[in-house]
Amino acid sequence: MTFAATVLTLYPEMFPGPLGVSLAGRALCEGIWSLETVQIRDFATDKHRSVDDTPAGGGAGMVMRADVLASAVDDVLARRPDAPMLAMSPRGRPLDQALVRELAAGPGISILCGRFEGIDERLFEARPIIPVSIGDYILSGGETAAIVLLDACIRLLPGVMGAPSSGTDESFEAGLLEYPHYTRPQIWEGRTIPEVLRSGDHAKIAAWRSERAVDDTRLRRPDLIERHGGARRPPPSGARRDT
């Protein structure tokens, strides 16, 4: 089944952009996912085709109009009733791997990209739209955020990644950062690859990786440890660890 992405934007030329190369690009060519862009401006009704207006209450910038956006959203919802309608917004639900997994398991997603100061709040009251944020910083528009969200979903679609297991060991999948990676050369600038990784002892390697995942997460992202109640990732490939 094709994962159908529909992007509502003022800049359709930004798509597929980086999603047209590498894994995502190949998957697009193979029909594992599909992409449709919808030009929001096509739903404007005045002769200037305006999509924004000055903010009520005053202040800088422009606000995207609820009436124009609703027409665009309604058009997409009518054609793709199964796909959840998301809107990229710094005021939205923080994107994490759990949400990515949930969305990637569905039939597709429709994404409304904001510009200017953002979107008239009444749109969110009047339509089933889920605002999603990709982090605590401000981008100039929702398009790059939509690309981030789509990239994260697409790599999880069946047939996109080489090894079916390569997604499950990753950072955040078990509420922890992933263990660090090494590859040849064996010695680089006097630094050697940790001895255990050359031991060939898979149980020992799995235990080392599991320990490093916990230690690095504690050090770099104590918030993750807290959120997951200090849960430890089960050691990969069935290795046992002493705790």
Give residues in contact with ligand SAH (CB under 6 A): 88-91, 113-115, 117-119, 133-135, 137-139, 141-142, 145
134 has binding-site annotation? yes
Tell me the closest approach of the beta carbon of residue 146 to ligand SAH, in angstroms: 8
Residue listed under structure tokens 């609703």:
70
Q: Residue 132 CB: number of other CB atoms within 10 A?
A: 24
Between the CA of residue 73 and those of 33, 67, 92, 93, 137, what are the distances in Å?
21, 10, 18, 19, 26
Contacts 24+ apart (CB under 8 A), 54-63: 55/117, 59/117, 60/117, 61/116, 61/117, 62/116, 62/117, 63/116, 63/117, 63/118, 63/119, 63/120
Among residues 129 and 176, whose Cβ is nearest to ligand SAH? 129
137 has binding-site annotation? yes
Tell me the closest approach of the beta carbon of residue 54 to ligand SAH, in angstroms: 14
Among residues 172 and 239, whose Cβ is nearest to ligand SAH? 172
135 has binding-site annotation? yes
Tell me the closest approach of the beta carbon of residue 220 to ligand SAH, in angstroms: 21
52 has binding-site annotation? no
Instruction: Give me the numbers of helices (H) and strands (E) for the chain, helices first please.
Output: 7, 9
Among residues 115 and 209, whose Cβ is nearest to ligand SAH? 115
Tokens of 86: 């998301």
Q: Report the residue closest to ligand SAH, judged by CB.
A: 114
Among residues 126 and 231, whose Cβ is nearest to ligand SAH? 126
β-sheet bridge partners, residue 110: 6, 85
Residue 8 DSSP code: E
130 has binding-site annotation? no
Tell me the closest approach of the beta carbon of residue 41 to ligand SAH, in angstroms: 16
Tell me the closest approach of the beta carbon of residue 144 to ligand SAH, in angstroms: 8
Between the CA of residue 189 and those of 39, 185, 195, 219, what are the distances in Å?
52, 10, 16, 26
Among residues 7 and 197, whose Cβ is nearest to ligand SAH? 7
Among residues 110 and 210, whose Cβ is nearest to ligand SAH? 110
What's the start-to-end Cα distance of the chain, in Å? 44
Tell me the closest approach of the beta carbon of residue 201 to ligand SAH, in angstroms: 44
Q: Which residues are annotated as a binding site?
A: 114, 134-139
Q: Which residues are annotated as a binding site for S-adenosyl-L-methionine?
A: 114, 134-139
